Structure 1
């Protein structure tokens, strides 16, 4: 598993460089990956499953960041932002709005969607295509624009 190898190498490097924050985040991600593997009853996760775990961790951090900023807790917001930055390094390159727009239009025509009532069909068809490469809320916004 390429992700696990990268995490292990980066963990060793973070130990050598005494980067406590980065080391803590990497250990947390490795633990999440291991927990998911145990939950699924596997020795190792596939790349896709690993990406799902990373997405979940990113989403949790983004939600926390939003809450901390709303509560005026800049100390916690800064710590969470640093964790987000470390996690982001392990994600695949994100799609641009233009690339995402093309995928959305193709999927809408594939599904035959014509109105916002078809939103669920479009989203369920699109999300596997852009998994890890685009944020779900961003995809949702572009789909809404194209269906209106």
Structure 2
């Protein structure tokens, strides 16, 4: 089942259950999918690839994390809670998130492959790491683990 179909089904279920938070979250995902599909049609494609769908979900999750951080700084706990609930719903659609140990293992492998030895080599490691861990680990987590692996 495609993400778009699943989202459509989940919108109907949220409406029947009168689950306003879930409804807002899944509608926001559907909106972004529809916008990207319009862009894809310009390129001559009818549907998004699975990788593009995952990228959209990663972007939506990142937006929620950033909003949580900003609202937290502003002391808006009500909005922090709302964004956190939406983030949890979005994460249900993402691939399983890797543990720190799993991410570190991937980073260690990449460090060995590219021959990185110092914090100066961070760029050499981050590109392949983000490509390989797309949707499975938060970018900030990857960045901090790469820094640690390179002794930064």
Normalising by structure 2, we get a TM-score of 0.92
- Please state if 1:2 is matched with 2:5: no
- Please state if 1:35 is matched with 2:43: no
Distance 1:51 1:146 in 2: 27
Aligned partner of 1:92 in structure 2 is 95
**Structure 1: segments with no counterpart, 5+ residues:** none
Aligned partner of 2:104 in structure 1 is 101
Alpha-carbon offset, residue 39 of structure 1: 2.3
Aligned-residue RMSD, C-alpha: 1.2
Distance 1:121 1:48 in 2: 23
Alpha-carbon offset, residue 5 of structure 1: 2.2
Distance 2:122 2:107 in 1: 11
Q: 1:78 aligns with which of 54, 57, 81?
A: 81
- Please state if 1:68 is matched with 2:85: no
**Structure 2: segments with no counterpart, 5+ residues:** none
Distance 1:141 1:77 in 2: 24
Aligned partner of 1:24 in structure 2 is 24
Distance 2:46 2:27 in 1: 18
Alpha-carbon offset, residue 36 of structure 1: 1.6
Distance 2:78 2:100 in 1: 32
Normalising by structure 1, we get a TM-score of 0.94
Distance 1:122 1:58 in 2: 23
Distance 1:114 1:127 in 2: 19
How is 1:109-124 mapped onto 2 (pairs within 5 angstroms)? 109-124=112-127
Distance 2:87 2:49 in 1: 22
- Please state if 1:46 is matched with 2:49: yes
Matched length: 148
